[in-house]
A and B are shown apart, each in its own frame.
Chain A
Amino acid sequence: MIGRGCALLLSLALCAATLGAPGAANAQCRLCAIPTTAPPSEATADKPLRLEVLTTLDFDRLIVLGDGAGTAVLDPDGTSRAIGAIGPLSGRAIAGEIVIRGEPGRAIRVDLPRTIDLYGLKGGSIRIDELTSDLPTLPELNAAGELHIRIGGELRVSGDVDGDFRGDVPVIVDYL
């Protein structure tokens, strides 16, 4: 009988503590507080980072004009030009564009490769020697939680190449 009474009192005490007893009771019984694993109130959960590719980096159609090397330049703003033994067949080159979405105002780090290899559907490869972008020096998501990045590059062509070429542009984004 006495044992059961003690058990009942102990249970009632625990119950009072966890069910939010008045502040005076908490201050008096700090050792009774049940520890919580909830994060501090000032560090709320960020929106997850998402990355979407809006447009392909497309140099469109180029023609080899003769012997020697040539370079096709496509700037992030979409302007293009050709240098050396290569020329455009059409003026429809398009800069690539990606959008990053996440927590508004958060600083992020964006990893873009410096060079890209493009592989021919009939074999062979060519290289974008210098991938360029309009990525800010200190990138962060805007008030809407977005950052758009446009991507261009310098494509070097030499030798006897022709055909369709394609390559991947891997992009990695992290919250800072």
Chain B
Amino acid sequence: MTKFYNKAALAATAAAFAFASTPALASPTSASANGTATVKIYSPLTIAAPTATDSVVDFGILVGTLGGTTAPRSANNFVIGATAAPTAASVCTGATNWSCSGTPHRATYNITGSVDSSVNVSFAASSITLLRSGGTAGVADDEIPLDLTLSETTDSNSDGTADVLLAAGAATVYVGGSLGVSATDVDGVYTGSFSVTADYQ
């Protein structure tokens, strides 16, 4: 009997002490974290023709000849392709009763900006009207329409502008066009102006 009571008492005592001795858990009173700050900085973007001559789309000299049967010259679209340097012969390709001479050339523009950046290149107006020197604006025979073309045609986001990659911080684009000469256009020198723009994507 005595032995039983001793063991029970000692067990109860040990249990009580163990419960009373359990420490309270401490809670964190501070915290830290790293936020992030970011920015992407671009160099100034420029687009310019290397020389004044490079800024011109020149179709050269177009001469409408009379055919053997005295047929008058016909209307024709004279084309300067933007992707290859033109020649007089290439300008007159497909033209009937016309001869081409002079030094036709496409316009050339150099673009500079941040390395590996992509830019959108576009015309302010993709079609312009050339006016005869001494002619009258609005008179059909004094005007010739020119549809401009660009050597770069990829438009990955379908926004109507061409994508150009500045792989080493620079790229060159060319401008050509299709000149719609009518049979009754008055002889003379025809000129017009166009604007080409580059913007960071």
Contacts and interface: CB of A to CB of B under 8 A. Distances in A.
A83 interface: no
Contacts of A168: 34-37
Contact of B40 (A4, A51, A61, A169): A61
Interface residues on B, range: 35 or more
B40 A60 contact: yes
A25 interface: no
A98 B39 contact: no
Interface string A132-176: 000000000000000000010101010011111111111111110
B124 interface: no
A47 B2 CA distance: 51
Contacts of A56: 35-38
Given A173-B31, A174-B29, A163 B40 contact: yes
Contacts of B27: 45-48
Nearest to A90: B200
A39 B24 contact: yes
A104 B41 CA distance: 42
Contact of B43 (A57, A64, A116): A64
B68 interface: no
Contacts of A18: 12-13, 16-17, 20
B24 A164 contact: no
Secondary structure at the B interface, as helix, strand, loop or mixed, is mixed
A34 interface: yes
A128 B35 CA distance: 14
Interface in B166-196: none
Nearest to B44: A64
Nearest to B42: A63
B51 to A, nearest CB: 24
Q: Which of B13, B32, B35 has the most CB of A within 10 A?
A: B35
A91 B28 CA distance: 40
B5 to A, nearest CB: 6
Given A37-B23, A62-B41, A66-B44, A170 B6 contact: no
B114 interface: yes
A31 interface: no
Contacts of A14: 9, 13, 16
Contacts of A37: 21, 23-24
Interface of B: 2, 5-6, 9-10, 12-13, 16-17, 20-21, 23-45, 114-115, 200
Closest 9 CB pairs of A and B: A18-B16, A11-B9, A169-B35, A59-B39, A49-B31, A48-B28, A57-B37, A51-B31, A51-B33
Interface of A: 4, 7-8, 11-12, 14-15, 18-19, 34-39, 45-53, 56-66, 72, 89, 96, 98, 100, 102, 116, 118, 126, 128, 151, 153, 155, 157, 160-175
Given A56-B37, A168-B36, 8 more contacts: A34-B16, A35-B20, A49-B31, A53-B35, A56-B38, A57-B37, A59-B38, A169-B34
